[in-house]
Structure 1
Amino acid sequence: MELKRFLSLGLLLVAFIPMKLSAQQAQPLPTDPAVRVGKLDNGLTYFIRHNENPKDRADFFIAQKVGSILEEDSQSGLAHFLEHMAFNGTKNFPGKNLINYLETIGVRFGQNLNASTGFDKTEYTIMDVPTTRQGIIDSCLLILHDWSNNITLDGHEIDEERGVIHEEWRARRNAQLRMFEAILAKVLPGNKYAERMPIGLMDVVLNFKHDELRNYYKKWYRPDLQGLVIVGDIDVDYVENKIKELFKDVPAPVNPAERIYTTVEDNDEPIVAIATDAEATTTQLSISFKADPTPQEVRGSVFGLVEDYMKQVITTAVNERLAEITHKPNAPFLSAAAFFSNFMYIAQTKDAFNFVATVREGEVEKAMNALVAEIERLRQFGITKGEYDRARTNVLKKYENQYNEREKRKNNAYANEYSTYFTDGGYIPGIEVEYQTVNAFAPQVPVEAFNQAIAQMIDPVKNAVVTLTGPSKAEAKIPSEADFLAAFKAARQQKVEAKKDEVSDQKLMEKAPKAGKIVSEKKDQKFGATELTLSNGIKVYLKKTDFKSNEILMSAVSPGGILSGKNAPNQSVMSSFMNVGGLGNFNAIELDKVLTGRSASVSPSLSLLTEGLSGKTTVEDMETFFQLIYLQMTANRKDPEAFKATQEKLYNNLKNQEANPMAALMDSIRHTMYGDNMLMKTLKAADVQKVNYDQVMAFYKERFADAGDFTFFFIGNLDEAKMKPFIETYLASLPNLKRGDKMHKAQVPAARSGKIDCKFNKEMDTPSTTIFDVVSGNVEYTLKNSLLMEVFSAVMDQVYTATVREKEGGAYSVAAFGSVEQYPQPKALMQIYFPTDPTRAEEMNAIVFAELEKLAKEGPNVEYFKKTIENLNKQHKESLRENRFWLEAMKSSFFEGNDFITDYESVLNSLTPAELQKFAADILKQNNRVVVMMAPAAKAQ
């Protein structure tokens, strides 16, 4: 029997490691003792784990080893339809009671309560459930029980849901999906994977008989194909006993239908497929090499773990190589990446090693030759010793970081891991075993083992699949499939040479700057932070937390920003180009190599009002982190080649944006809201061609030259005593020009007032009218008003779900986003967005505005109001255990003087429906209303 390629990847290790170790590899990996795994007599599997991250919360999942691949022709789309129906009535939660109950405890539909349907699996999730009452845990287990065997599937509810799913289909059917379907039909002709897209066929969805759905449910939703996952602050014994009690009445299937996994055939000759679309904006080339997946009996052993480690090392090394190519001007492709996945990202019975490149318009053959050359270089010569060493170091660092954070791992991370293990197989020994095993093997596996594996994964003849997607316009110069195949075959005949690895042995900084001093220190009682003032005027705030074991976040901010300079570059231009050149003596590629094995990153930002830095590091990489901060402030490197490469990439990404209807919508929204204000202008391809790199870099250096008015915030598991020398060396040494910059708040563009309509038509493949509404009004910028706006938008979300989605079937979702902007003057904005059937657009938008007026006149639905307050309270308590939340809160308080944290709970819980009604009425009576409506145009003949 032929040895399968991915299986041989693990077995290759036998030739390179001591026999004692290799004999152990075939043994199954142990199951993490912290997770209780069991199976009931009816075949139901369960995974239960106690975890207190976050405390008083738990996640409840039910995973099903079934999906759209199991549908009959008359059932296309019913696996996904069934997922919807799980929220429309069960035995113990009729009608909408399931959603209503969970929202009363702060579990919000679409946010914490959700589901997804794939080709081979379906998953239902109830996340961040409060576990402070035993009854809540019991109710969530009862919901899982009902989903397993007691979804009602009422005929009236089925008919009501048809329109919702039709609108979901309409909302998601974009150019990428249409081309993907076309590619599948060519790559997998006659295969169910090409015929069973989960969304289904609308002719079936709109017309199937009720019993078709009931038959699918009865046939496939059964305990031998179901797995429960409960992770969180729960009593494991209690939950296990409750599962046994609840689920014992779920019958084991009698003569069950066999769960057959659809196979994907090998191919002796390359398969090619091309798909184009009038709304596509980029050309993408993909080359995949198929292989059978590793059998579960091997995948669940040390072989499987080491195979995954090897794949990570290989892709890390290859992607470094591809990035180096695209960092240069006139690169043969604009971007490229290598990765492993299921074949075509969906086939559970076939794996693939993928190479994907974004192609410059009209240069398909050039990109093909270059990408195939890199593939052949890999096949023939593998990765270099230097690439291997760097990749191995970086991958081992990831394992180390996960190991160090093992006590802080969150519920959803465990729940997703166990759910995937149940449906896909693999291993769950726990990070301790994974970390120890990988570190034991890594030193013994030489680069030669990796290169032998690569050579086996890239077959010189068989199992190649080459696809191309792009715009249908003539300028794209998309070849015929015959020419495309010929180009691929010719490219594989190229002669290539081994890669030459170039690495600098320079240090990130050869010499430390002359240190400054900490001149004052005091404690801030509100945040429990230490406030330092440095000799150059910089303020530093340090807050120690135990939320993560090895995470330190940083944010720095200074007044000024884009509005501080005359004729300053556009904000989008600055963001795109100001940081492409690397730091100090290293370009961006060299910098990545120098930082191998170090978890430290720093990025600059420029807004209209401020400039700043953000970053993340670990305890052991603190000095590297401070060096990066210093270099980002003083030695942002100018690299004309990197600028040119970035300019080419961005130009090509934007060149065809007008073909995408959503780009036209965004342009119209900006123009309708802000008129011709250049600060709010959307970046276009023509603008990219005009960018002056010298101007970009000069403005960057000017904004970051004066450190004296910067404020730095650090939060995490930090050691102040160890940080202070770095603060004095790398922060207190920064220059202070004493410019006294200010934020030019009055110059911030203001949204236009009055009633403004912008209705236009755009040619599109899938007819859909997309609507963007805004109502706005002047308010005071206070914590209370900000919370009222949050409540307002959350209540309207529920209103629109009940009316536009459920009652009318007029949209898959209506998103309401509320905010209070501080500048140029405080203003509340309610933004509402949804796509809908063109024939019902005006009708649905009338409902949207009628419901706003109804709330302003009659007050909010009291149940919606209560559920929103409960949800916001729950979210806030969860946020209090997040470093990033405190980082933003400190920045807002110390830099802008806004305290939106001290009285949050008391203000939130004091809000009343009457106050929300008045707040909404005060906004609406100002008569500021924007409607942007994009409808389909008649197609040109």
Structure 2
Amino acid sequence: MKTPMKHFTGLLLVASLVLSQAGLAQNRLAEKLPIDPHVKIGKLSNGLTYYIRKNIKPEKKVELRLIVNAGSILEDDDQQGLAHFTEHMAFNGSKNFQKNDIVSFLQSIGVEFGADLNAYTGFNETVYILPIPTEKKENVEKAFQILEDWASTVAFDGAEIDKERGVVLEEERLGKGAEDRMFRVTYPKMFEGSLYANRLPIGKAEVIKSFKADVIKRFYADWYRPNLMAVAVVGDMDPAEAERLVKKHFEKLKNPAKEKPRTLADVPARKASEGLVVTDKEATNHVIEIYYAYKKAKEETTLGDYREYLVRRLFTSMLSQRMQELTQKANPPFVFGASSISSWARGFEAYSSFAYISKGGPEPAVQALVQENERARKFGFTPAELDRTKKMLMKSIERAYNERDKTESANLVNEYVQHFLEQEPMPGIENEFNYYKEFLEGITLAEVNQYTAKTIPPVTDNKLVILTGPDKADFKLPSNEELLTMTENAAKADIKPYEEKAIASSLIEKAPVAGKIVSEKSSSNAKDNKSKENNALGITELTLSNGVKVILKPTDFKNDQVVMVASRFGGQYLADPKDRFSAEFASTIVSQMGAGQFSPVDMRKVLAGKNATVTPRIGAISESVSGQCSATDLESMLQLTYLYFTQPREDGELFNSFVTKQQALYQNMASDPQFTFQDSLFKIMYKDHVWAPKLPKPENFAKIDQQKALQFYKERFGNANGFTFVIVGKFDLNTIKPLLATYLGSLPSSAKTSTFKDVGLRPVKGPLKKEVRKGSEPKSFIRLVWNGETTYSDADQFKLQALVELLNIKLIETLREELSGMYGGGMSGSLGKYPYGNYTITASLPCGPENVDKLIAATLAEIDKVKTNGPQEADLNKVKETWKQQYLVNIKDNAFWARQLLQSVEMGSDPAGILAYEKKVDALTLKDLKDTANKYLDTKNYVQVVLNPENN
């Protein structure tokens, strides 16, 4: 027995040890966050910062960024919109590149304008995005010259400025409409008392139309200076060479003698609560938003800050999951709702909530948002919620860590952009993985709940409550004062703690009786041509005892990814036309109700700590399945597949929830001019055919019969015979085969084969011209459609796609750069083989009403040039180079291989063509495209539909 003194001494030793460990922990948390050791950060003598990192995913490509710490918030009153206009002018001439030479050169080396080559302007920054192939050293050198010119010698030629006014005004026009009109009322209230309230990046039309060249040059001279810039170089090039090029091109840049101070705009705290109801006759949805006071965001510099970031992630994830559960009720309070901590204002953040209101009106939505926040604030979360969310976060970081040597350069470079602009921590994935392992498990429920209580503001705090949407006779809107009172009264309800429902711990309690693999074709077991082809493609083909076929391609493209796709012919057209909507939404409804014994919410819970998803779909002429998973969760993905085939779940409450939410979402959609235009286009193109494409409308959802939808789904997925599955990614063939036999080989099957039905649906042919009038804004939209029947071939499909890409280059040059008639738009087209051989080519051109005739004439003129003279060789070479560059990336992408292999089965084409792609590209000729244009683009036989405003 211990003496009292010894016992006391022991307590002192324990206490001393505890205090010592606490001290160590505190010292550890006070440590500064490191910088990712894989990136080199430097600063030139003029203050320009640079980030350089070697990364070989994708190979032979480098991501370049010019990051300017200046945006619309720095504009003078006479410059509103000119930060964004400056970004546009960077592509329209500089010291070393005349007019459109930058875009033309980049297209010639395979960089696609808009898709690869791009830029954006925000309140506080302008970022130029330039991905460059690295095979040719001279192209990389020229790319750095482009960055230098953007940073220092943009020309601002007067004639080019005048041409670009039209392009920027067209970009501004694209944003016009009900949402924009309401936003311009609510946004100044959100940032009342701050410069943010009147510095939207798009600016003011009156400034854009009339500013003098010296005004934009003043902005450029003030803010495009090296000590406000960074250059990021991430990709497959030598870091020493990258640093040499940065120094060569940017060391010589000078800062202005008298620098304007670069300060952050303040956002004052809200002084009182306010309700604001804003309506618009063209609005489509009622939306509720609650904004609490902005506060200065805490800088994250230490390990303790990172640990608190993990606490925040746990809190936001758990609250988000609760909000999602509310949408599963038969009469959900909102279609979608969320709460978060965020901001558009650098250095500030605010707690806010929003919801798309359901059919019940604003009060149930407000009550649900407020009360769910209050529930979390008062009672916190449960141990089960915390445990699940920890598993989910840990799985997420594990996947990122596993892919650390296969992460794309574009993802890495974005971290460096944010580090420069926002001082966002970037300790590197190895360090972050270790922090998760070190801190996550030790975060207690008590501290998460304490964080929640202090983070969610009481509803009595100063706030701005906004309700936007249409003003409809059948929808009672509150006044501003009533909206505010409604919000504050919502917290007075008797709010109970969250109740956790027990669920099963595994997807399938007992594995099904496995089928057999009855045949296998691969290089290892045969010498025929098929197996030789499979060897070249790296694929193995299995046939299972139930008629299911599986194509397997193990890859090392990613370390922790498996992609699955599957399909067979069948589809909605097999249903009785009177049950059209039940058939059309059958797979969506099953996804909403779940599979096995699990609702979607329960499915997420049982899969906590795993990464596996599966989605069944029923299209017009086929049914399909798509899925993805981590390498370690392959069995879970196959189990989900088995459940969706064999045990679609029936749940009347979730069915009613789906119908209610969809009706609420689409009940006012006809007010939107674009919706009306598309709906009219379908009616014009397909007349009154029973299977004509239709946009979602509330009355359509009322026609869905739950039992008929479920029965149709079971008919389509109840017999798996004829399905082909393609699985690509990180897996072992010997390991996956027994899983396939168990979960795919056991799928129900019969000798009955499945095929599609041709229901005679054919679009009208031209010549036909129609006009649709809708909307109050001066906005038009042109749709030109060429279509008809043809004999399908892979070769013709390839040529048609090349023709469309080439015409898009010409439309950008002519309609945008020369005529200043549009901001974005272009052509698309393809051949179809099923249910009949057909082609469709579409030109979609948004513009102003005054430019409709001009753009149509210009489009047809470009088509006629190709038909008469053939394309220019330089333009065809741009298409070829772009496709080759895209192929170099795609050929090492799991999803690309899965799509291509499945498509080869669907179309009956040779999968070896995947490997012959570059030869096909090289073989394209000017004559091919000229002949294709003459075959499919009859400019005397097309359908023209134009949307014009009502009062034009």
Interval of TM-score (by shorter of Structure 1 and Structure 2): over 0.9
Instruction: Indicate whether 1:869 and 2:870 are aligned.
Output: no
Alignment-derived partner of residue 531 in structure 1: 541
Which of 391, 394, 416 is the aligned partner of 1:393?
A: 391
Alignment-derived partner of residue 7 in structure 1: none
Residues 17-76 of structure 1 show CA distances to partners (whole Å, capped at 9, x for unaligned) of 943223222322111111110000100000011100011011110111110011111111
Distance in 1, matches of 2:824 and 2:368, equals 44
Residues 226-275 of structure 1 show CA distances to partners (whole Å, capped at 9, x for unaligned) of 11111110110111022112212100332311111111111253243332
Pair 1:385–1:290, CA change in 2 (3 A): farther
Distance in 1, matches of 2:30 and 2:467, equals 40
Per mean C-alpha deviation after superposition, the further-off stretch among 108-117 and 567-576 is 567-576
**Match runs of 1:117-516 below 5 Å:** 117-127=121-131, 129-296=132-299, 299-342=300-343, 346-361=344-359, 363-460=361-458, 461-516=460-515
Alignment-derived partner of residue 81 in structure 2: 77
In the TM superposition, what is the alpha-carbon distance from 1:361 to its structure 2 partner? 4.6
Amino acid at match of 1:875: Q
Pair 1:477–1:15, CA change in 2 (3 A): farther
Residues 784-824 of structure 1 show CA distances to partners (whole Å, capped at 9, x for unaligned) of 22222122111111211121111111111231112122233
Which of 624, 643, 663 is the aligned partner of 1:612?
A: 624
Distance in 2, matches of 1:413 and 1:194, equals 31
**Match runs of 1:22-33 below 5 Å:** 22-33=26-37
Distance in 2, matches of 1:387 and 1:779, equals 57
**Match runs of 1:565-714 below 5 Å:** 565-567=575-577, 568-570=579-581, 572-679=584-691, 680-714=693-727
Whether the aligned pair in 1 keeps the contact of 2:776 and 2:950 (CA below 8 Å) is no
Residues 260-311 of structure 1 show CA distances to partners (whole Å, capped at 9, x for unaligned) of 1111111253243332222211111122334534443xx1322332233222
Distance in 2, matches of 1:644 and 1:742, equals 32
Instruction: Indicate whether 1:825 and 2:828 are aligned.
Output: no
Amino acid at match of 1:909: D
Distance in 2, matches of 1:449 and 1:235, equals 46
Whether the aligned pair in 2 keeps the contact of 1:279 and 1:660 (CA below 8 Å) is yes
Pair 1:379–1:464, CA change in 2 (3 A): farther
Whether the aligned pair in 2 keeps the contact of 1:810 and 1:836 (CA below 8 Å) is yes
Instruction: Indicate whether 1:847 and 2:839 are aligned.
Output: no
Per mean C-alpha deviation after superposition, the further-off stretch among 135-144 and 211-220 is 135-144
In the TM superposition, what is the alpha-carbon distance from 1:505 to its structure 2 partner? 3.6
In the TM superposition, what is the alpha-carbon distance from 1:572 to its structure 2 partner? 4.0
Aligned to 1:678, the other structure's residue is in SS state: coil
In the TM superposition, what is the alpha-carbon distance from 1:117 to its structure 2 partner? 0.5
Whether the aligned pair in 2 keeps the contact of 1:167 and 1:811 (CA below 8 Å) is yes
Pair 1:827–1:240, CA change in 2 (3 A): same
Distance in 2, matches of 1:930 and 1:309, equals 56
Pair 1:634–1:74, CA change in 2 (3 A): same
In the TM superposition, what is the alpha-carbon distance from 1:597 to its structure 2 partner? 1.0
In the TM superposition, what is the alpha-carbon distance from 1:448 to its structure 2 partner? 1.0
Distance in 2, matches of 1:65 and 1:249, equals 19
Aligned to 2:852, the other structure's residue is in SS state: helix
Distance in 2, matches of 1:687 and 1:15, equals 67
Per mean C-alpha deviation after superposition, the further-off stretch among 85-94 and 824-833 is 824-833
Which of 923, 941, 944 is the aligned partner of 1:928?
A: 941
Distance in 1, matches of 2:475 and 2:678, equals 24
**Match runs of 1:718-729 below 5 Å:** 718-729=731-742
Residues 629-676 of structure 1 show CA distances to partners (whole Å, capped at 9, x for unaligned) of 111100010111000000000011111010000111111221222222
Instruction: Indicate whether 1:917 and 2:891 are aligned.
Output: no
Alignment-derived partner of residue 773 in structure 1: 784
Alignment-derived partner of residue 4 in structure 1: none
Distance in 1, matches of 2:825 and 2:642, equals 46
Count of matched residue pairs: 918
Distance in 1, matches of 2:790 and 2:595, equals 44
Instruction: Indicate whether 1:760 and 2:772 are aligned.
Output: yes
In the TM superposition, what is the alpha-carbon distance from 1:108 to its structure 2 partner? 1.3
Distance in 1, matches of 2:477 and 2:466, equals 12
Instruction: Give 5+ residue unaligned stretches, structure 1.
Output: 1-13
Pair 1:332–1:784, CA change in 2 (3 A): same
Amino acid at match of 1:609: I
In the TM superposition, what is the alpha-carbon distance from 1:220 to its structure 2 partner? 0.6
In the TM superposition, what is the alpha-carbon distance from 1:482 to its structure 2 partner? 1.3
Alignment-derived partner of residue 3 in structure 1: none
Instruction: Indicate whether 1:55 and 2:59 are aligned.
Output: yes
Amino acid at match of 1:750: R
Residues 834-879 of structure 1 show CA distances to partners (whole Å, capped at 9, x for unaligned) of 1111122122212111221222112113322211111111112211
Distance in 1, matches of 2:760 and 2:36, equals 55
Amino acid at match of 1:428: M
Alignment-derived partner of residue 888 in structure 1: 899
Per mean C-alpha deviation after superposition, the further-off stretch among 726-735 and 412-421 is 726-735
Amino acid at match of 1:227: A
- Give 4+ residue runs of structure 1 displaced > 4 Å after superposition: 14-17
**Match runs of 1:526-565 below 5 Å:** 526=534, 527-565=537-575
Residues 731-780 of structure 1 show CA distances to partners (whole Å, capped at 9, x for unaligned) of 11122111111233x33633222312221211x23211111111235444
Whether the aligned pair in 2 keeps the contact of 1:326 and 1:333 (CA below 8 Å) is yes
Whether the aligned pair in 2 keeps the contact of 1:582 and 1:636 (CA below 8 Å) is yes
Whether the aligned pair in 2 keeps the contact of 1:758 and 1:931 (CA below 8 Å) is yes
Residues 98-147 of structure 1 show CA distances to partners (whole Å, capped at 9, x for unaligned) of 111111100111111110011111100012x1101111111111111111
Instruction: Indicate whether 1:937 and 2:950 are aligned.
Output: yes
Whether the aligned pair in 2 keeps the contact of 1:529 and 1:542 (CA below 8 Å) is yes
Per mean C-alpha deviation after superposition, the further-off stretch among 578-587 and 45-54 is 578-587
In the TM superposition, what is the alpha-carbon distance from 1:463 to its structure 2 partner? 4.5
Pair 1:271–1:309, CA change in 2 (3 A): farther
Amino acid at match of 2:555: T
Amino acid at match of 2:811: Y
Residues 322-345 of structure 1 show CA distances to partners (whole Å, capped at 9, x for unaligned) of 122210111222221223321xxx
Pair 1:625–1:814, CA change in 2 (3 A): closer
Distance in 2, matches of 1:370 and 1:33, equals 46
Per mean C-alpha deviation after superposition, the further-off stretch among 572-581 and 371-380 is 572-581
Whether the aligned pair in 2 keeps the contact of 1:50 and 1:232 (CA below 8 Å) is yes
Per mean C-alpha deviation after superposition, the further-off stretch among 358-367 and 908-917 is 358-367
Aligned to 1:54, the other structure's residue is in SS state: coil
Pair 1:520–1:376, CA change in 2 (3 A): same
Distance in 1, matches of 2:631 and 2:298, equals 40
Residues 493-515 of structure 1 show CA distances to partners (whole Å, capped at 9, x for unaligned) of 33312111112144311111111
Aligned to 2:680, the other structure's residue is in SS state: helix
Aligned to 1:584, the other structure's residue is in SS state: coil
Aligned to 2:114, the other structure's residue is in SS state: coil
Whether the aligned pair in 2 keeps the contact of 1:561 and 1:607 (CA below 8 Å) is yes
Distance in 2, matches of 1:580 and 1:102, equals 45
Distance in 1, matches of 2:22 and 2:501, equals 33
Distance in 2, matches of 1:216 and 1:80, equals 11
Aligned to 1:279, the other structure's residue is in SS state: coil
Amino acid at match of 1:302: L
In the TM superposition, what is the alpha-carbon distance from 1:200 to its structure 2 partner? 0.8
Amino acid at match of 2:171: E
In the TM superposition, what is the alpha-carbon distance from 1:585 to its structure 2 partner? 1.4
Amino acid at match of 2:135: T
In the TM superposition, what is the alpha-carbon distance from 1:895 to its structure 2 partner? 3.6
Whether the aligned pair in 2 keeps the contact of 1:879 and 1:885 (CA below 8 Å) is yes
Distance in 1, matches of 2:418 and 2:462, equals 27
Whether the aligned pair in 2 keeps the contact of 1:304 and 1:426 (CA below 8 Å) is no
